[in-house]
Amino acid sequence: MAFYSEKVMDHFANPRNIGEIKDADGIGEVGNPVCGDMMTFYIKVKDDKIEDVKFKTFGCAAAIAVSSMVSEMALGKTLKQVIDLTNADVAKALDGLPSNKMHCSNLGADALHKAIENYKTKQGK
């Protein structure tokens, strides 16, 4: 039996930045083919920085903790800094995930990157 770190439990029990931004500048959605879980990120961008970020996750405890952590890591950062953020960075920030839950961490940064791509497409960049 694998156990979650205290950070994972904290972000799962008290997720940060949960919700939806109605007038989002970019939206990114990813699904996990392994388990069918879904994650959607909404971003507001100002001066090339993430001014606001919210997420909705239909998934396991690890997926919710990953969403919460990645949203905290992205807030206030430049788009470039967020694009450079990897799924491994997020798992590390959570003090790791059990090996059978590592696939759950693959949703977080991917969904956020998609939201940035969506923003750039809308901007014609």
Q: Which residues contact 36 (CB under 8 A, 6 or more apart)?
A: none
**Which residues, in sequence order, are bridge partners of residue 57?**
39
Q: Which residues contact 16 (CB under 8 A, 6 or more apart)?
A: 68, 71, 72
Q: Tell me how crowded residue 86 is: count the other CB atoms within 10 A of its CB.
A: 15
Q: Which is nearer to ligand FES, 4 or 119 (CB)?
A: 4
Q: Find the binding residues for ligand FES in span 62-121 (CB under 6 A).
A: 62-63, 104, 107
Catalytic, 104? Answer: yes
The active-site residue out of 39, 82, 94, 104 is 104
59 scored as a contact of ligand FES (CB under 6 A):
yes
Catalytic, 60? Answer: no
- Binding region for ligand FES (CB under 6 A): 32, 35, 37, 59-60, 62-63, 104, 107
